[in-house]
Amino acid sequence: MVTQSANASNLIEKANAIIIGVDTRGYITDWNEHCFIVTGFEKEEVYGQKLVETLLASEDGPAFDVLMARLLNHELVKNYEIPVRTKSGRTVIFMLSSTPRTSATGETIGIVFVGQDVTELTDYRKSLEIKVEERTRELQRALKKEKEVVEMKSRFVSIASHEFRTPLSSIQFSADFIKKNNQKLSKEELSKRLENIEKQAHHMTSLLDDVLTYGKSEAGKIQLITSTIAVRDFINKIIEEVGHSSKNTHQIKVDFLRIPDQLTTDEKLLRNVLINLLTNAIKFSPGREAVHLAISGNNGQLLFSIHDDGIGIPEEEVDTIFEPFVRGKGVASIQGTGLGLSIVKRAVELLKGTIQATSQVGSGTTFIVTLPTNGQEAEIQ
């Protein structure tokens, strides 16, 4: 018997597994060599010590007390993971299964835990879980992007079909009229019909330009080509061009405040931004006499404020006006693809600037474009 007991003790001591014994109060009564290898604690350092206080972090103590209560109530627990502190202060994860230790009379006098160090496996599992979560988020983003693209294409088809059909119908009507009445038309009437065809063709070209420009910006094919421009001359040319294209239906009132004499920027992109915003201001303020442009320089920045007293934008639509192919509910009768402001926003971002919009229905809209500049500020009288 002595030999069998000694052999059993030696087997436990040398087993390639964690074997920890505790009494009913949670004090350590058994601690084999593998426990020392994993934790760095010698048997003499832990023997007779309370397991909760010696090996566990304070926040894990209550959970272990609940576990002990379950075990002493004759409940079997398998594959229980618990974080254990090593002598060096590192935390390892034990996966333990329990066996009650009983006296000769069948009374439970303690618990024996048998298990393995599963720290690497747990870390690997957690890393896999993190990767799965990351991939799931990526998939969700991709699905969201795909949904947005589908919705965008749907909006494009709807808007483009309407916007292209109108000028095409007008062109066809004028062409048919000229064909049928060629011999009867006066020079004035013929000129009027041809002018309408030219106008509608120009409108269709403008629509196509918007689509192509947006496509280039989406594909990242727009490259910055910077040059130095004279700010005041540049603005005056923009005003002249917008006035001519809009047939001078509105006066463009300009305020030059403290601005640099020169600005290094992409002239084509900035021109696109200002023409688009000024044209919109005129388009969406029918019946008004003027739109306003203010340019000011401050702390290395150049601010362009474009304001109109037009129809305005409902509050719930202001946050969506820079999205492609989005048009407000109140502008159905005004031509456009819904791409202009999204192109403006992309251009401003390429210029390392920002754009903001404020609006009130019936009172007009203000766009503020802020661009960085290293130019020397000068007072413009």
pLDDT of residue 183: 81
Q: 155 or 257, which is more confident? A: 257
Check whether 50 has a pLDDT greater than 90. yes
Which CATH topology does 2-117 take? Answer: Beta-Lactamase (3.30.450)
Q: What is the pTM of this model?
A: 0.50
Domain boundaries, the chain: 2-117, 124-218, 227-379
Q: Which of 172-176, 223-227, 268-272, 362-366 has the lowest mean pLDDT?
A: 223-227
Q: Mean pLDDT across the stretch 196-200?
A: 81
CATH no., domain 227-379: 3.30.565.10
pLDDT of residue 375: 37
pLDDT of residue 237: 92
Long-range own/partner contacts, residues 205-213 (CB < 8 A, 24 or more apart):
207/160, 207/163, 207/164, 207/337, 210/337, 210/339, 210/340, 210/343, 211/156, 211/160, 211/337, 211/339, 213/272, 213/339, 213/343
With a CB cutoff of 8 Å and minimum separation 6, the contacts of 115 are 17, 18, 94, 95, 96, 97
CATH no., domain 124-218: 1.10.287.130
